[in-house]
């Protein structure tokens, strides 16, 4: 009989008796919808035998979830549905419409030695052993299937829908790893998502699915229990070329995060980065023309920078058409152990600017620079103070920035600050289209917003650079003379395929409306077809709307 490795099997009878007791009391209640399960559980565990077994502490909710799944025949369906909503943990993880699964590759995965980058022995380059996601990878010995399985199990037992997942692969420069290892790694990821996790928890029988090839695993995923809607990798700009892009598409990658760090060639030289801004420009155009969603990692307070030069960099990142990432992780420089920068800090060679200047730089950026079409994912990294040789800013930097913004009535326009989350949209709902030139091509950011400008969903439509340059052509024959959708995302609570909720924004036809608008725009631009860089698990959605698989893209020809 299968159990998660950290589940105390000896507690099973007692946990079952607790749940049966809860159900009996719930059935007698006249106010079932307002039932406070946590309050009731706390009350019950004060009595024997629960008091002795749980030592007066709340049992982890996922223990109870496992018992509900494993012994569902003992409970009424309505009781299970009602208590599930109370036992859900960390709702924020799925309010963007998908469940993110972060995995780490094994090995150094980068031949460079940037001065700020920690190089802890036996850890992926730039990552530290006490970061939460790294610790999970260590527990699973960096094995991809085990990492996927453990995360899907925990999300399921936290009552999150796992039928739509985004894969986030970390560990350094993904493109530096051998292709054989990368193909193996992705194949195991698909196999993990193709396995029926919920059925495994219910039956107690392992039902791992395996495939002969990556391609066959991808085909299985189109109808799998956990469909992969996107794959995100991180790499260096100078590792992006036509061959690498073609390979990334074979793997199913849809989102590339570039370690840009700065847009100053002088600072690149000082920090021993090993490339220039020309590499960033080239990688950005190649990736956008191939339909990828692009993220930049940018660092503030690097050696040689000032508040003024950092603001200049941020303005250039979004004001200069050669750059303009769709997603941004803004990392203030951290002086970590296992880095050359730690030595520079101790000798005085590196003198960072002050915390007030850092906060002011970020708030000014949010006030004056941030466009509505970018999503700011992070303002700090998950680095603990024990791994810092100097603490230049507190762990709650985002809160300090938000406090500063509140005092000065600054409202950030990025997608993360505007996404609808669990809120009910306020009418009317309208369509906003922002057009801008980018990386030699033309971008259309099409979004649905409510009356408060909350983002309910959007599409990124691109007219690639080769449509405007007769001397260049697409890396992919299927995309010749085609516009391309680089991203379609509808926000709101993650819902299972086929599920409906009158208060949710998903599955209300918003995606289809946005797709129709994008198709009309492509036709008006004189194009006869439209391509989509679709996640493997979303291919079926586009097939139903007239798209066909061609050269790893979903393609639709207009009549």
- Tell me which of 1-5, 13-17, 185-189, 553-557 is least confident: 1-5
pLDDT tens for each residue of 230-266: 999 999 999 999 999 999 999 999 999 999 999 999 9
Residue 385 has pLDDT above 80, yes or no: no
pTM of the model as a whole: 0.92
Q: Which helix (H) or strand (E) holds 131?
A: none
pLDDT tens for each residue of 121-133: 888 888 888 888 8
| Rounded Cα gap, residues 266 and 264, in angstroms | 5
Question: Residue 28's pLDDT band (boundaries 50, 70, 90)?
Answer: confident
Is residue 229 within 8 A of residue 538, CB to CB? The reply is yes
More confident residue, 454 or 49: 454
Residue 256 DSSP SS3: strand
Predicted confidence at residue 249, as pLDDT, reads 98
Determine the average pLDDT of the residues in 522-546: 96
Residue 507 has pLDDT above 60, yes or no: no
| Rounded Cα gap, residues 221 and 215, in angstroms | 10
Q: Where are the alpha helices (DSSP H) in 77-169?
A: 77-87, 132-139, 144-157
Q: How is 334-400 classified by DSSP, letter by letter?
A: -EETTSHHHHHHHHTS--PPPHHHHHHHHHHHHHHT--TT-EEEESS----GGGEEE--S-TTHHHH
Residue 97 has pLDDT above 80, yes or no: no
Residues 6+ apart with CB under 8 A from 49: 14
How are beta strands 441-449 and 455-463 bridged, if at all? antiparallel
More confident residue, 382 or 237: 237
| Rounded Cα gap, residues 438 and 245, in angstroms | 19
pLDDT tens for each residue of 69-82: 999 999 999 888 88
Query: Could you tell me the two tokens for 415?
Result: 């997608």
Main-chain dihedrals φ then ψ at residue 23, nearest 5 degrees: -65, -40
Question: Residue 501's pLDDT band (boundaries 50, 70, 90)?
Answer: very low
Measured at the CA of 494, the angle between CA 287 and CA 165, to 5 degrees, comes to 45
More confident residue, 498 or 183: 183
Is residue 303 within 8 A of residue 269, CB to CB? The reply is no
């Amino acid at each position: 009989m299968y159990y998660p490795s950290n589940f105390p099997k000896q507690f099973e009878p007692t946990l079952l008796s607790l749940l049966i007791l809860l159900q009996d009391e719930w059935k007698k209640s006249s106010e079932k919808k307002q039932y406070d399960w946590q309050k009731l559980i706390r009350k019950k565990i004060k009595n024997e035998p629960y008091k002795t077994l749980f030592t007066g502490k709340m049992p982890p909710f996922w223990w109870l979830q496992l018992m509900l799944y494993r012994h569902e025949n003992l409970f009424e369906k309505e009781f299970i549905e009602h208590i599930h909503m109370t036992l859900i943990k960390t709702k924020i993880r799925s309010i963007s419409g998908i469940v993110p699964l972060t995995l780490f590759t094994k090995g150094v995965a980068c031949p460079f030695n940037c001065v700020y980058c920690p190089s802890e022995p036996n850890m992926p380059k730039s990552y530290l052993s006490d970061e939460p996601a790294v610790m999970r990878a260590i527990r699973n010995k960096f094995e991809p299937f085990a990492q996927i399985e453990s995360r899907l199990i925990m999300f399921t037992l936290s009552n999150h829908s796992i039928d739509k997942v985004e894969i986030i692969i970390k560990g350094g420069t993904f493109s530096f790893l051998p292709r054989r290892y990368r193909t193996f790694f992705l194949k195991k990821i698909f196999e993990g998502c193709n396995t029926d996790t919920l059925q495994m928890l219910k039956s107690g029988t392992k039902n791992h699915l395996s495939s002969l090839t990556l391609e066959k695993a991808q085909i299985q995923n189109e109808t799998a229990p956990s469909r992969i809607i996107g794959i995100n990798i991180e790499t260096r700009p100078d590792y992006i070329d036509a061959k690498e892009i073609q390979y990334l598409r074979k793997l199913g990658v849809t989102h590339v995060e570039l370690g840009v760090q700065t847009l100053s060639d002088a600072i690149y030289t000082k920090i021993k980065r090993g490339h220039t801004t020309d590499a960033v420009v080239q990688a950005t155009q190649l990736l956008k023309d191939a339909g990828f969603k692009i993220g930049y990692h940018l660092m503030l307070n690097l050696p040689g920078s000032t508040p003024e030069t950092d603001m200049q960099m941020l303005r250039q990142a979004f004001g200069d058409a050669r750059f303009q990432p769709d997603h941004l992780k803004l990392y203030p420089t951290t002086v970590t152990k296992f880095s050359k920068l730690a030595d520079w800090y101790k000798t005085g060679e590196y003198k960072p600017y002050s915390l007030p200047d850092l906060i002011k730089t970020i708030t000014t950026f949010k006030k004056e620079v941030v466009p509505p079409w970018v999503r700011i994912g992070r303002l700090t990294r998950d680095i603990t103070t024990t791994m810092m040789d100097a603490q230049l800013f507190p762990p709650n930097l985002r809160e300090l920035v938000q406090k500063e913004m509140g005092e000065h009535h600054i409202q950030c326009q990025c997608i993360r600050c505007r996404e609808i989350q669990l809120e009910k949209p306020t009418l009317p709902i309208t369509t906003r289209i922002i057009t801008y030139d980018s990386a030699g091509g033309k971008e259309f950011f099409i979004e649905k917003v409510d009356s408060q400008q909350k983002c309910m969903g959007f599409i990124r439509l691109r007219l690639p650079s080769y449509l405007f340059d007769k001397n260049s052509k697409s890396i992919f024959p299927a995309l010749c003379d085609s516009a391309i959708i680089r991203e379609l995302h509808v926000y709101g609570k993650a819902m299972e395929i086929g599920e409906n909720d009158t208060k949710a924004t998903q599955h209300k036809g918003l995606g289809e409306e946005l797709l129709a608008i994008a198709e009309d725009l492509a036709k008006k631009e004189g194009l006869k077809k439209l391509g989509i860089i679709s996640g493997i698990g979303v291919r079926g959605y586009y097939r139903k709307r007239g798209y066909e698989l061609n050269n790893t893209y979903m393609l639709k020809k207009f009549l």
